[in-house]
Amino acid sequence: MFGAESGFFDEMTHSKDWAMFKDYCVRDVEVERKLWFKMLPLGFPDDMWKDWFLDQRMNEFGLPVNVPRAKKLLGFALRYKEWITAEMKRLTGLENPNSPEQLLGWVTPRGYTWGSLNKSFVDLELANSESKLTPEAREVLRMRRIAAANSWTKLQTLIDQVSPDGFLRHQFMFMGAARTGRWSSAGVQVQNLPRPIKQIEKAMSDDPEKYPLHLFDLIDREAYDETFKEFKGQILPFVASCIRMMFEVPLEL
DSSP sequence for 184-241: EE-TT-GGGPPPPPHHHHHHHHH-TTTHHHHHHHHHHTT-HHHHHHHTTT-HHHHHHH
Express as a percent the part of the chain with pLDDT over 90.
Answer: 75
Q: What is the pLDDT of residue 127?
A: 95
Are 138 and 225 in contact by the 8 Å Cβ rule? The answer is no
Torsion 13-19-24-27 (CA) sign:
positive
Window from 139-153, 177-191, 218-232 with minimum mean pLDDT: 177-191
Cα of 88 vs its chain's centroid, Å: 24
Task: Tell me the mean pLDDT in the region 201-226.
Answer: 92
Q: Supply the pLDDT for residue 2.
A: 42
Nearest to 215 by CA among 245, 194, 184: 245
How many residues belong to the chain? Answer: 253
**CA separation for the pair 187, 29 (Å, rounded):** 30
Output DSSP code: residue 34: H
- Residue among 130, 124, 151 at smallest CA distance from 237: 151
Q: Are 167 and 61 in contact (CB under 8 A)?
A: yes
Chain center to CA of 249: 23
How far, in Å, CA of 30 to CA of 60, rounded? 34
Share of the chain above pLDDT 70, in %: 96
Strand partners, 247: 65
Global confidence as pTM = 0.78
Which helix or strand (DSSP H or E) is residue 64 part of?
Answer: strand 63-64
pLDDT digits (tens, 9 = 90+) for 18-68: 999 999 999 999 999 999 999 888 888 888 899 999 999 999 999 999 999
Residue type at 81 in one-letter notation:
K
CA-CA-CA-CA dihedral for 192, 194, 198, 202, to nearest 10: -60
- Dihedrals phi, psi of 121, to nearest 5 degrees: -70, -40
Spatial separation of the C-alpha atoms in residues 96 and 88, rounded to whole Å: 9
